[in-house]
Amino acid sequence: MLRPERRTNAVAGEAMVGGRRLAVAVPLTFMNESGLAASALARRFSVDDPVRLVVVHDELDLPVGAVRVKRGGGIAGHNGLRSVKDHLHSPDFLRVRIGIGRPPGQMSGADYVLRRPSRADAEALAVACELAADAVELVLGEGPDAAMNAVNGA
Domain extent for 123: 3-152
- Widest CA span of the chain, in angstroms? 49
Q: What total of structural domains would you count in the chain?
A: 1
Q: What is the pLDDT of residues 20-45, one digit of tens each?
A: 889 999 999 999 999 999 999 999 99
Could you tell me the CATH number of the domain that includes residue 62? 3.40.50.1470
Other CB atoms within 10 A of residue 111 CB: 10
| Distance of alpha carbon 124 from alpha carbon 137, whole angstroms | 20
Q: Report the candidate in 153, 148, 146, 151 with the shortest Cα–Cα distance to residue 18.
A: 146
Would you say 69 and 142 are in contact if contact means Cβ atoms under 8 Å apart? no
Would you say 2 and 13 are in contact if contact means Cβ atoms under 8 Å apart? yes
Q: What is the pLDDT of residues 56-77, one digit of tens each?
A: 999 999 999 999 999 999 998 8
Model pTM above 0.85: yes
| Distance of alpha carbon 122 from alpha carbon 43, whole angstroms | 34
State residue 154's pLDDT score.
65
